[in-house]
Amino acid sequence: MWGVNLMLIPGISDAAMLRLISELRHDFTEKFESYKQFARWCNLCPNNKISGGKFLSSKIPKRKNPVDLILRQAANSLKSSKTPLGFYFRRMQSKNGYLGTIVATAANKFAKIIYKLVTTKTEYNDSYDKVTEEEILIKKLKNAQRALERIQKQLKKTA
């Protein structure tokens, strides 16, 4: 229907695919300018409340969206998956906890991947999501080096 097989995405089953087709229809990409708007419509983005520049809360709104539930169930199935999306899920779980990770994976990964695949009419390729442990360690090392340089600059200013 969309010209793309979304069942190649880990976590998307045939039942989830059929439910997505019935909820989104054939022209859902024309309604949204970007995947961020699509994720917001799916009720996967936090409702940040800011007053006077101060962050007050960021709870997910209470309204129910069937697409939201489908994507969250798909994200929940990744907790023990040996795929790059499963690796992302476990990495986010160590930072955010279990429930926050389900929302983050559904919003940031599934909504983005589905929107991008349907708009570009390309098949899913997990090489886009692959982040190796070596790349993560290199990134951590660079961040630590930048932090060390900032501390050294502060020490020079005070001395």
- Specify the pLDDT at position 133: 67
Model confidence pLDDT, tens digit, residues 129-159: 666 667 778 988 999 999 999 999 999 988 7
Sequence-distant contacts of 38-44: CB under 8 A, at least 24 apart: 38/111, 38/114, 38/115, 39/107, 39/108, 39/111, 39/112, 41/65, 41/67, 42/67, 42/68, 42/71, 42/106, 42/107, 42/111, 43/68, 44/68, 44/71, 44/72, 44/103, 44/106, 44/107, 44/111
Mean pLDDT for 75-83 is 84
